[in-house]
Amino acid sequence: MSNMGLSEKLREEVDSIWQAIFKHPFLVEMSKGVLPMKKFRFYVRQDYLYLTDFCRALAVAEGKIQDVKDLKDFTAFLYKEIALEIGGLERYAESIGVSTKQLSKSNYAPVTYAYTRHVLYSAYADPFSCFLSLIMPCMQLYLEIAKKIGDEEGIKKIPAYSKWLATYQTKEYADLVDWLNRLLNKYSQGSSQWEISRMRTLYLTSSRYEYMFWDMAYKLEGWRI
Amino acid sequence: MSNMGLSEKLREEVDSIWQAIFKHPFLVEMSKGVLPMKKFRFYVRQDYLYLTDFCRALAVAEGKIQDVKDLKDFTAFLYKEIALEIGGLERYAESIGVSTKQLSKSNYAPVTYAYTRHVLYSAYADPFSCFLSLIMPCMQLYLEIAKKIGDEEGIKKIPAYSKWLATYQTKEYADLVDWLNRLLNKYSQGSSQWEISRMRTLYLTSSRYEYMFWDMAYKLEGWRI
Amino acid sequence: MSNMGLSEKLREEVDSIWQAIFKHPFLVEMSKGVLPMKKFRFYVRQDYLYLTDFCRALAVAEGKIQDVKDLKDFTAFLYKEIALEIGGLERYAESIGVSTKQLSKSNYAPVTYAYTRHVLYSAYADPFSCFLSLIMPCMQLYLEIAKKIGDEEGIKKIPAYSKWLATYQTKEYADLVDWLNRLLNKYSQGSSQWEISRMRTLYLTSSRYEYMFWDMAYKLEGWRI
Amino acid sequence: MSNMGLSEKLREEVDSIWQAIFKHPFLVEMSKGVLPMKKFRFYVRQDYLYLTDFCRALAVAEGKIQDVKDLKDFTAFLYKEIALEIGGLERYAESIGVSTKQLSKSNYAPVTYAYTRHVLYSAYADPFSCFLSLIMPCMQLYLEIAKKIGDEEGIKKIPAYSKWLATYQTKEYADLVDWLNRLLNKYSQGSSQWEISRMRTLYLTSSRYEYMFWDMAYKLEGWRI
Q: In this complex, do D211 and C224 lie within 8 Å of one another by their Cβ atoms?
A: yes
Which tens digit of pLDDT belongs to each residue from C67-85?
999 999 999 999 999 999 9
Nearest CA in chain D to A100: D68
Of D175, D165, D171, D113, give the one whose Cα is nearest residue D142: D165
Q: Which residues of D touch A78 (CB under 8 A)?
A: 59, 75, 78-79
Nearest CA in chain B to A115: B114
Nearest CB among B64, B124, B191 relative to D192 is that of B191
- Averaged pLDDT for residues A30-46: 98
Buried (b) or exposed (e) across D103-113, using 16+ Cβ within 10 A? beebebbbbbb
Q: How confident is the model at residue C1 (pLDDT cuts 50, 70, 90)?
A: very low
Answer for the pair C53, C114: CB distance below 8 angstroms, yes or no.
no
Query: What ipTM, to 2 d.p.?
Result: 0.97
Report the alpha-carbon distance of residue D100 to residue D90 in Å, rounded.
6
Q: In this complex, do C127 and A124 lie within 8 Å of one another by their Cβ atoms?
A: no
Q: Where would I find the beta strands (DSSP E) of chain C?
A: none
Nearest CA in chain C to A122: C64
Report the alpha-carbon distance of residue D37 to residue D220 in Å, rounded.
12
- Give me the numbers of helices (H) and strands (E) for chain D, helices first please: 13, 0
Compute the mean pLDDT over every residue in chain D, rounded to the nearest whole number. Answer: 96
Residue type, D37: M
Report the alpha-carbon distance of residue B213 to residue D53 in Å, rounded.
42
Report the alpha-carbon distance of residue B186 to residue D192 in Å, rounded.
13
Q: In this complex, do D113 and C113 lie within 8 Å of one another by their Cβ atoms?
A: no
- Give me the numbers of helices (H) and strands (E) for chain B, helices first please: 13, 0
* Chosen from D52, D54, D62 to mutate, greatest number of chain A CBs within 10 A: D62
Residue type, C82: I
Report the alpha-carbon distance of residue A66 to residue A128 in Å, rounded.
10
Counting as contact any 3 or more CB pairs under 8 A, the partners of A are: B, C, D
* Chosen from B49, B53, B54, B55 to mutate, greatest number of chain C CBs within 10 A: B55
Report the alpha-carbon distance of residue D107 to residue C205 in Å, rounded.
12
Q: In this complex, do B190 and D193 lie within 8 Å of one another by their Cβ atoms?
A: yes
pLDDT of the residue at B1: 39
Q: How confident is the model at residue D59 (pLDDT cuts 50, 70, 90)?
A: very high
Q: How confident is the model at residue D3 (pLDDT cuts 50, 70, 90)?
A: low
Of D117, D123, D112, D166, give the one whose Cα is nearest residue D143: D166
Q: How confident is the model at residue A4 (pLDDT cuts 50, 70, 90)?
A: confident
Containing B28, the helix (H) or strand (E) segment is helix B25-31
Dihedral sign computed on CA atoms, order C174, C179, C185, C188: negative
Q: Which residues of C touch D110 (CB under 8 A)?
A: 114, 208
Q: What Å distances lie between residue B161 and B29, B151, B154, B156, C97, CA to CA?
A: 11, 12, 10, 8, 54
Counting as contact any 3 or more CB pairs under 8 A, the partners of B are: A, C, D
Number of Cβ atoms within 10 Å of the Cβ of C73: 15
- Averaged pLDDT for residues B29-38: 98
Higher pLDDT, A193 or D64: D64
Q: What Å distances lie between residue B78 and B70, B124, B175, B179, CA to CA?
A: 12, 17, 15, 13
Q: Which residues of C touch D224 (CB under 8 A)?
A: 208, 211-212, 215
Which tens digit of pLDDT belongs to each residue from B62-80?
999 999 999 999 999 999 9
Nearest CB among C64, C125, C189 relative to A63 is that of C125
Q: Å from B7 to nearest chain C CA?
A: 25
pLDDT of the residue at A2: 47
Share of chain B above pLDDT 90, in %: 96
Q: In this complex, do D63 and A87 lie within 8 Å of one another by their Cβ atoms?
A: no
Longest dimension (CA), chain A: 51
Number of Cβ atoms within 10 Å of the Cβ of C66: 11
Q: In this complex, do B192 and D193 lie within 8 Å of one another by their Cβ atoms?
A: no
User: Nearest 10 degrees: CA dihedral of C42, C43, C46, C51?
Assistant: -150
Cβ contacts of D1 within 8 Å, gap of 6 or more: none
pLDDT higher than 80, residue B3? no
* Chosen from B67, B130, B188, B192 to mutate, greatest number of chain D CBs within 10 A: B192
Q: Which residues of D touch B127 (CB under 8 A)?
A: 127
pLDDT of the residue at C2: 46
Number of Cβ atoms within 10 Å of the Cβ of D153: 9
Nearest CB among C52, C62, C65 relative to B68 is that of C52
Q: How many CB pairs (< 8 A) connect B and D?
A: 20
Q: In this complex, do A87 and D72 lie within 8 Å of one another by their Cβ atoms?
A: yes
Q: Å from D15 to nearest chain A CA?
A: 32
CA C148, chain centre distance (Å): 16
Report the alpha-carbon distance of residue B75 to residue B81 in Å, rounded.
10
- Name all contacts of A12-19 with Cβ < 8 Å and 24+ positions apart: A13/A200, A13/A203, A13/A204, A14/A137, A14/A203, A14/A204, A14/A207, A17/A204, A17/A207, A17/A208, A17/A210, A17/A211, A17/B225, A18/A141, A18/A144, A18/A207
Nearest CA in chain A to B15: A225
Residue type, D4: M
Which tens digit of pLDDT belongs to each residue from A149-178?
998 999 999 999 999 999 999 999 999 999
Of B62, B64, B52, B202, give the one whose Cα is nearest residue B116: B52
Which tens digit of pLDDT belongs to each residue from C16-64?
999 999 999 999 999 999 999 999 999 999 999 999 999 999 999 999 9
Compute the mean pLDDT over every residue in chain A, rounded to the nearest whole number. Answer: 96
Q: In this complex, do A64 and C125 lie within 8 Å of one another by their Cβ atoms?
A: yes
Report the alpha-carbon distance of residue A189 to residue A176 in Å, rounded.
20
Share of chain A above pLDDT 70, in %: 99
Which tens digit of pLDDT belongs to each residue from B144-189?
999 999 989 999 999 999 999 999 999 999 999 999 999 999 999 9
Cβ contacts of A99 within 8 Å, gap of 6 or more: A93
- Averaged pLDDT for residues D29-58: 98
Dihedral sign computed on CA atoms, order B191, B195, B196, B202: negative
Q: Å from D194 to nearest chain B CA?
A: 9
- Name all contacts of B19-24 with Cβ < 8 Å and 24+ positions apart: B20/A225, B20/B211, B21/B141, B21/B145, B21/B210, B21/B211, B21/B214, B22/B144, B22/B145, B22/B148, B24/B211, B24/B214, B24/B215, B24/B218
Nearest CB among A63, A75, A86 relative to D79 is that of A75
Which positions in chain C have a beta carbon within 8 angstroms of at least one beta carbon in chain A? 63-64, 66, 124-125, 127, 189-194
Nearest CA in chain D to C111: D114
Nearest CB among A83, A104, A123 relative to D75 is that of A83
Q: In this complex, do B63 and C60 lie within 8 Å of one another by their Cβ atoms?
A: yes
Which tens digit of pLDDT belongs to each residue from B79-131?
999 999 999 999 999 999 999 999 999 999 999 999 999 999 999 999 999 99
Q: Which residues of D touch B194 (CB under 8 A)?
A: 66, 190
pLDDT higher than 90, residue C4? no
* Chosen from B68, B101, B122 to mutate, greatest number of chain C CBs within 10 A: B68
Buried (b) or exposed (e) across A67-91, using 16+ Cβ within 10 A? ebeebbebbebbbebbbebbeebbe
Q: In this complex, do D225 and C205 lie within 8 Å of one another by their Cβ atoms?
A: no
Of D180, D223, D224, give the one whose Cα is nearest residue D46: D223
Q: In this complex, do B55 and C71 lie within 8 Å of one another by their Cβ atoms?
A: yes
Cβ contacts of D3 within 8 Å, gap of 6 or more: none
Which tens digit of pLDDT belongs to each residue from A45-88?
999 999 999 999 999 999 999 999 999 999 999 999 999 999 99
